[in-house]
Amino acid sequence: MAHVKKSTHKAGFWTAVFGIITIFGIIIAAVNDSFGVWDRLFTFKPTQTPALTGTPFQLASNANTSDYLPLSIDSTRTYNVIGSVPNGGFPDNQIMGNYTEKVIKIENRRNENISIYQVELTGGAIYDGDCSALKVNDLTIEKWYITDNTHLYVGCSQDRTDEIVKDLINQFYSNAATPIRVDFSPVITFPLKVNNKWNGIQEIPADLLPMIKWYVEEKLQYTVPAGTFNDCYRIVLYEASDVLIRYFCNGVGTVAMEYHNHNKPIDFRVELTSYSKTSNP
């Protein structure tokens, strides 16, 4: 019996040693890779179909942004919003609602390959991940999608939209590879490929942009109430302790978004419930 107890104590000792080494390794990795290991260890990932099935969405070799994100007059997307907001030390208030995004105007600058889509958001709870933090009660919000051959930008006001368009025109005629004003960061850069990254979040000082990036983390099949879609990508924005996740499916657009604050499992989740496409004008 004494021999058995000795073996048990010895095994327990080595288990503790290995545990300490593992914890120490995680700390070192986190310090050396502020955007990589640490964020990925504590980022919530919902379970999805691990492999692509069915017929993949096909894009032509010369596809442009209108193929990845088809928008036309009166086309709509309706989203459900589920989340919680702080309540002054009491249990969080639970929010549930929906909103519809509708294209109400399109302007094309064909010489510079720029398109501007004016979009109206209406509903009882709006959280679009671009211009709006959570908005509750019946209301209307306007925003603008601006596209060139390979980028999607968002303007949250008419003035901001005009500034982005002006910059893209200057970029076009100067043959610059990137926007002249670095604070006009694209929301998405096409074509989407795993491990691609680009500067994130508009409306912040340009010197902070290199610290805040969108990462294309994986390609997957994704299911929401509007259906199951192939050719989808999980795009993640890491910003200090916050994480914003966008699920974008080629040929459809954004089908889901999640926001996580201070490593919470989830603060807000937005899911596409229905969408409509109309013929391009």
Where residue 125 sits, what CATH number does that domain have?
Answer: 2.40.360
**DSSP 8-class letter at 73:** T
Alpha carbon 121 to its chain centroid, in Å, reads: 18
Residue 143 belongs to some domain of the structure: yes
Q: Same structural domain for residues 170 and 237?
A: yes
Q: Is residue 114 part of a domain?
A: yes
Residue 184 belongs to a domain: yes
Whether 271 and 212 map to the same domain: the answer is yes
Average pLDDT of the chain, as a whole number: 76
Comparing 68-82, 187-201, 257-271, the range with the smallest average pLDDT is 257-271
252 Cβ neighbours under 8 A, 6+ residues apart = 70, 229, 272, 275
pLDDT of residue 126: 84
Most confident of 9-18, 220-229, 235-244: 220-229
Buried b (16+ CB within 10 A) or exposed e, 60-97: eeeebbeebbbbeeebebbbbbbbeeeeeeeeeeebeb
Looking at the structure, tell me whether residues 20 and 135 fall in a common domain.
no
Q: What is the mean pLDDT of residues 13-23?
A: 47
Other beta carbons within 10 angstroms of residue 111's beta carbon come to: 9
CA 154 to chain centre: 13
- Domain interval for residue 17: 1-32
Mean pLDDT of the region 121-145: 82
Q: Quick one: what percent of the chain has pLDDT higher than 90?
A: 37
CB 68 within 8 A of CB 269: no
236-246: average pLDDT: 84
* Same domain assignment for residues 48 and 21: no
Is 171 or 77 the better-scoring residue by pLDDT?
Answer: 77
Residues 122 and 165 in one domain: yes
DSSP label at 277?
A: -
In a domain, 170, yes or no: yes
pLDDT of residue 129: 79
Residues 91 and 20 in one domain: no
51 pLDDT higher than 70: no
pTM for this entry: 0.74
pLDDT at 210 over 90: no
Indicate if 244 and 270 belong to the same structural domain: yes
- The total of structural domains in the chain comes to 2
Residue 186 is given by DSSP the state -
Answer yes or no: is 47 within a domain. Answer: yes
Shortest CA distance to 267 belongs to which of 148, 134, 116? Answer: 134
Distance CA 121, CA 78 (A): 9
Average pLDDT over residues 127-143: 78
Model confidence over 99-128: pLDDT tens digits?
999 999 999 998 889 999 999 999 988 888
- The DSSP bridge partners found for residue 97 are 81
Does the pLDDT of residue 24 top 50, yes or no? no
Do residues 183 and 205 lie in contact, with contact meaning Cβ atoms separated by under 8 Å? yes
**Shared-domain flag, residues 39 and 16:** no
- 137 and 17 in one domain? no
The answer on 229 and 141 residing in a single domain is: yes
Same domain as 146, residue 10: no
Decide which of 217 and 203 is more confident.
217
Token pair for 37 = 């290991």
Residue 72, C-beta contacts closer than 8 angstroms, at least 6 positions apart: 103, 106, 277, 278, 279, 280, 281
Confidence of residue 71 (pLDDT cuts 50, 70, 90): very high
Say if 160 falls within a structural domain.
yes
Per-residue tokens: 160: 């901001």
In a domain, 281, yes or no: no
What pLDDT does residue 23 have?
45
Is 99 a member of any domain? yes
Provide the β-strand partners of residue 78.
100, 274
Is there a single domain that holds both residue 103 and residue 140?
Answer: yes
